[in-house]
Structure 1
Amino acid sequence: MAGDGRSPTTGRRVVMFPFPFASHTTPMLQLAGLLRARGLGVTMLHADFNAPDPARHPELAFVSIRESIPDEVATSADLVQQMIGLNDACEAPFHAALAAELARGGGGQSGQREVACVVVDGQWYKMPGAAGRVGVPALALRTDGAAAFLTLLSTPRLRADGYFPINGMCTRDRLDEVVLGLEPLRVRDLIRVDGSDDETMLHFIACVTDAMRASSSGVVLNTFDAIEAPELAKIRQELSRPAFAVGPLHLLAPAAQQEEQHAPDRGCLAWLDERSPRSVLYVSLGSVATIDLTAFEEMAWGLAGSGVPFLWVIRPGSVRGAGDDDAPPPFPEELIETVRRRGKIVAWSPQREVLAHPAVGGFWTHCGWNSTLEAVCEGVPMLVHPCFGDQTVSARYVTHRWGTGLDVGRVFERTAMARTIRRLMARELGPQAPRERARLLMRQARHCVEEGGPASSALDDLVEYMWGL
């Protein structure tokens, strides 16, 4: 492929702009590889903040927007304020970079634009409008599930119905009330972010949904009909524009199309090789979430008390109050021998390979959408422990829509956690057992990505739509 991102066959290309978090960049890169395989060139605009590594993706052309991120945004502990700040800081540089790409391409065959469209991450609420100002249609790639996105689109109605605090009024007495129109979600499952006030979060959601309705030409979702068909239908009705369910992207795309935030410890695979089939609980709370030292110690006691072998990812800095961010937090002295004998601790893992390993029988997860999809596609039942954002929505779907997992509980208590771990890992049989439900969804996911299957057809429809923009 030419270094300028042009298609070697058609000359037409798509410009893409991921949000600068690894969990958002990876699906964008996966989609880029799939579009390129269908004859479109790809130019990847990117922020210098958390920039992807072009050397890992030589088939794509990368162009920095050369933004300037204020220090208070780059280091903000308030995730919502950080996302707002990134939008503010990147809008003008993105506009300039996209205009330069459009000018560089000139006119294509029969006077068509060489740049067919731009695909921006769904958290870039300022970018669809910026693309429109240079005359390029914009599509949004949602890196959450359809249920989570539908929840965002429904937020004005939810607020009017009193599901969010208004003028200081509290909804605590309604936390376990099922949200009408979004079943099986309860009020407590609606999207919130600890450390961000509700008004700021609701402002951000309004910016995202308003941009989708006013400035986008469609939405691309990393999901599939077998698990979210009703939600996809409602999204299409809400937006009155195309919504393409092209997932699971990681099953369709080459394995190389992935950004790793940390170097994975591949030695854990050899450790798994020595374990019995479906005997190990894999524990990982993702690339962003943190827990306090008390919760960490209760997790450790719960894992020890379960009697189950475990592979535990403890990311540097993921345990608050543990002292040195670069060192693993100290285990209670009474558990050190148990951890050495029955557990394996790593700073980061090759997660897809871990979930696909025959020794892994369960996944204690924060329910980030990438992790949830990866578990679904490998038929691994989940122990859900959502931390913030869309994770509460995905966790509720795992336990009460798909039936592929159990809830670890809102209060960390070692005895209850040990009991739930044993229940998840038990060889329970029957069509409603989490393990059997997980295997059913795995088969449906694999059918979806077969040649001529729903995901392949959706990708073909997406490419045809892009050509017509």
Structure 2
Amino acid sequence: MSDTITQHVVVIPYPAQGHVNPLMLFSHKLAQLDGFKITFLNTDFNHKRVLSALALADDDDDDGHNSSTSSRGATLIGPKKNISLVSIPDGLDPDDDRTDIALLCEAVLDNMPAKLEELLRNINALDNKVTCVIADSSMAWAMEVASRMGTRGAVFWPAAAAIFVLELNITRLVDEGLIDSDGFFTNKEQKIYLSSEGLPGLDESSIPWSCIGDLNSQKSIFHFVTKCTEYSKLADWWLSNTAYDVEPAALSLAPKLLPIGPLLESQGHGDSEAQFWAQDHSCLTWLDSQLPCSVIYVAFGSLAVHDETQLNELALGLELTGRPFLWVIRPGMSKLQKDEYPRGKMLSWVPQQKVLSHPSIACFVSHCGWNSTLEGLSNGVPFVCWPYFADQLFNMRYICDIWRVGLSFEPDEDGVVLGEEVRRKVEQVLGDENIRTRALELKEMARENIAEGGPSSKNFNDFVEWLNA
């Protein structure tokens, strides 16, 4: 194989499921090209989780896409077996809480740059020399490492372009006194407007770093974000998982940020092969037995947490709708007894893109992570929004206020979304033909962007041309 490799690209996601997924889909797009070899770099902790999920998937896999191990010890995946899965430490101890975002960010920045440089030097000595490093924008410190080694670099933004625009404007916002030097609003009543139209106003509840942990964590994450934004300026290219027709206003404010999305499994490369939990495909057979546009799909991503009281109210509300529902409950997330709900199917993890593209899905009760948001949009599925933290609250405003393809829940005075509220909002969304019409229009626009000759497709091809130049 070494004689045919013309590009060896190292891809580095931030160590969270919502970042790993789109970068793996992007890696698959590159790996389809002749002469391309991809080294996909996870943290040791997440690498083990991915390998465990792959091993379980291999037991049921008969399409020839399963994994194997190379003589170097890297796990090879993809149809051409030209994606190598490797890892380095994240700097945390085995028992540390990796859902503590501030702790994880600090450890990553303190420990991973030196480990990355060591890995790149080893690859260059033993394998096809690395020709480009593509890093998640939250791992943009890798651009400094790549630059020091004389290697080209690109950053990949996996969230809404509007949030990247916000981060690019941090210095201006501080200079104008809208936020202080630690990222906190100077006036709790104000809103920040990045554009006069096409973007929702940002209050303190929709600034990503203001929605994570306590005040110390928020301060720490803000400073991590500002550092990554500066590191991003070292990159030759800025790529993003969005589309011009999805975020026209935001992308007009950052012309260097080039959309190549939505990145979807349906673009010809199957499952992302980067899941932290094994996917249960039995849901697809179950969906086949349901009526068209009848099933409520409920999923809250890889990090959202709700207590048992709230989950019981959600279960009650789903039952009250009288509709079948498919509910993803991560391992250890709840003590709900799955056999208590005859209308529902509850599973630990599912192939979400296949689920959302299934004709039986009626709506998506979602935490509004960006991947879930794009996947819902790309399949014309209306939303009922239940954001948890970070950028999810901003994404909800896109869904409800700008695109108008969904509604949000209203909690009671104790902060609990009651079962009756669940029933009411689901029925309201499903009964609104305007929401359904707009959702289908957005689906078509999103799909046109990634079709051959579409703007996202053209941006991807331009990037490949640059790599090959």
Instruction: Tell me the TM-score normalized by structure 2.
Output: 0.84
Q: State the aligned residue count.
A: 430
Of 69, 86, 92, 2:91 maps to 69
* Residue 360 of structure 1: how far off its partner (Å): 0.6
Q: Does residue 50 in structure 1 map to residue 46 in structure 2?
A: yes
Distance 1:87 1:74, change over 3 A: farther
Q: Does residue 218 in structure 1 map to residue 240 in structure 2?
A: no
Q: Counterpart in 2 of 1:19?
A: 14
The DSSP-based 3-state class of the residue aligned with 1:93 is helix
* Residue 167 of structure 1: how far off its partner (Å): 8.0
Distance 1:38 1:157, change over 3 A: same
Whether the 8 Å contact between 1:147 and 1:393 is mirrored in structure 2 is no
Aligned counterparts of 1:92 and 1:380: Cα–Cα separation in 2: 44
Q: Counterpart in 2 of 1:343?
A: 344
Query: 1:202 is matched by which residue type in structure 2?
Result: F
Whether the 8 Å contact between 1:299 and 1:414 is mirrored in structure 2 is yes
Of 24, 28, 31, 1:29 maps to 24
Q: Counterpart in 2 of 1:195?
A: 213
Q: Does residue 39 in structure 1 map to residue 46 in structure 2?
A: no
Give a deviation string over 1:279-303, Cα, whole Å, max 9, x none: 1110000112111222212212222
* Residue 377 of structure 1: how far off its partner (Å): 0.9
Aligned counterparts of 2:98 and 2:391: Cα–Cα separation in 1: 20
Give a deviation string over 1:392-426, Cα, whole Å, max 9, x none: 12111111111111112354233222211111122
In structure 1, runs of 5+ residues without a counterpart are: 107-113, 237-241, 320-327
Q: Counterpart in 1 of 2:108?
A: 86
Aligned counterparts of 2:183 and 2:201: Cα–Cα separation in 1: 23
The DSSP-based 3-state class of the residue aligned with 1:361 is strand
Q: Counterpart in 1 of 2:429?
A: 424
Distance 1:95 1:439, change over 3 A: same
Q: Counterpart in 1 of 2:286?
A: 271
Q: Counterpart in 1 of 2:405?
A: 404
Q: Counterpart in 2 of 1:100?
A: 122
Distance 1:279 1:63, change over 3 A: closer
Query: 1:69 is matched by which residue type in structure 2?
Result: G
Distance 1:207 1:166, change over 3 A: closer
* Residue 141 of structure 1: how far off its partner (Å): 1.0
The DSSP-based 3-state class of the residue aligned with 2:139 is coil
Of 308, 325, 329, 2:336 maps to 329
Whether the 8 Å contact between 2:260 and 2:460 is mirrored in structure 1 is yes
Q: Counterpart in 1 of 2:71?
A: none
Q: Does residue 312 in structure 1 map to residue 327 in structure 2?
A: yes
Aligned counterparts of 1:362 and 1:142: Cα–Cα separation in 2: 27
Greater shift in the superposed pair: 65-74 or 274-283:
65-74
Aligned counterparts of 2:125 and 2:235: Cα–Cα separation in 1: 22
* Residue 18 of structure 1: how far off its partner (Å): 2.4
Query: 1:461 is matched by which residue type in structure 2?
Result: D
Query: 2:219 is matched by which residue type in structure 1?
Result: E
* Residue 253 of structure 1: how far off its partner (Å): 4.7
Q: Counterpart in 1 of 2:200?
A: 184
Distance 1:212 1:73, change over 3 A: farther
Give a deviation string over 1:149-180, Cα, whole Å, max 9, x none: 22222233344555557789876842xx5422
Whether the 8 Å contact between 2:363 and 2:430 is mirrored in structure 1 is yes
Give the alignment of 1:377-416 within 5 angstroms: 377-409=378-410, 411=415, 412-416=417-421
Aligned counterparts of 1:367 and 1:442: Cα–Cα separation in 2: 17
Q: Counterpart in 2 of 1:291?
A: 306
Whether the 8 Å contact between 1:73 and 1:82 is mirrored in structure 2 is no
Of 245, 259, 263, 1:245 maps to 259
Distance 1:94 1:164, change over 3 A: same
The DSSP-based 3-state class of the residue aligned with 2:456 is helix
Q: Counterpart in 2 of 1:109?
A: none
Aligned counterparts of 2:461 and 2:184: Cα–Cα separation in 1: 48
Aligned counterparts of 2:173 and 2:247: Cα–Cα separation in 1: 21
Distance 1:55 1:42, change over 3 A: closer
* Residue 24 of structure 1: how far off its partner (Å): 1.8
Aligned counterparts of 1:82 and 1:196: Cα–Cα separation in 2: 15
Give a deviation string over 1:259-283, Cα, whole Å, max 9, x none: 2222222222222222221111100
* Residue 245 of structure 1: how far off its partner (Å): 1.0
Query: 2:202 is matched by which residue type in structure 1?
Result: R
Whether the 8 Å contact between 1:32 and 1:42 is mirrored in structure 2 is no
Q: Counterpart in 2 of 1:111?
A: none
Q: Does residue 119 in structure 1 map to residue 129 in structure 2?
A: no
Distance 1:304 1:180, change over 3 A: same
Query: 1:179 is matched by which residue type in structure 2?
Result: I
Query: 1:235 is matched by which residue type in structure 2?
Result: A
The DSSP-based 3-state class of the residue aligned with 1:15 is strand
Distance 1:43 1:35, change over 3 A: closer
Query: 2:193 is matched by which residue type in structure 1?
Result: L
Query: 2:391 is matched by which residue type in structure 1?
Result: D
Whether the 8 Å contact between 1:19 and 1:124 is mirrored in structure 2 is yes
Q: Does residue 204 in structure 1 map to residue 224 in structure 2?
A: yes
Greater shift in the superposed pair: 395-404 or 247-256:
247-256
Aligned counterparts of 2:296 and 2:306: Cα–Cα separation in 1: 19
Aligned counterparts of 1:447 and 1:27: Cα–Cα separation in 2: 19
Give the alignment of 1:1-16 within 5 angstroms: 2=1, 8=4, 11-16=6-11
The DSSP-based 3-state class of the residue aligned with 1:249 is coil
* Residue 450 of structure 1: how far off its partner (Å): 1.9
Give a deviation string over 1:58-117, Cα, whole Å, max 9, x none: 6224263543633178434421221221232211110111233344568xxxxxxx5432
Q: Counterpart in 2 of 1:130?
A: 145
Aligned counterparts of 1:169 and 1:100: Cα–Cα separation in 2: 42
Whether the 8 Å contact between 2:76 and 2:82 is mirrored in structure 1 is no
Aligned counterparts of 2:98 and 2:258: Cα–Cα separation in 1: 33
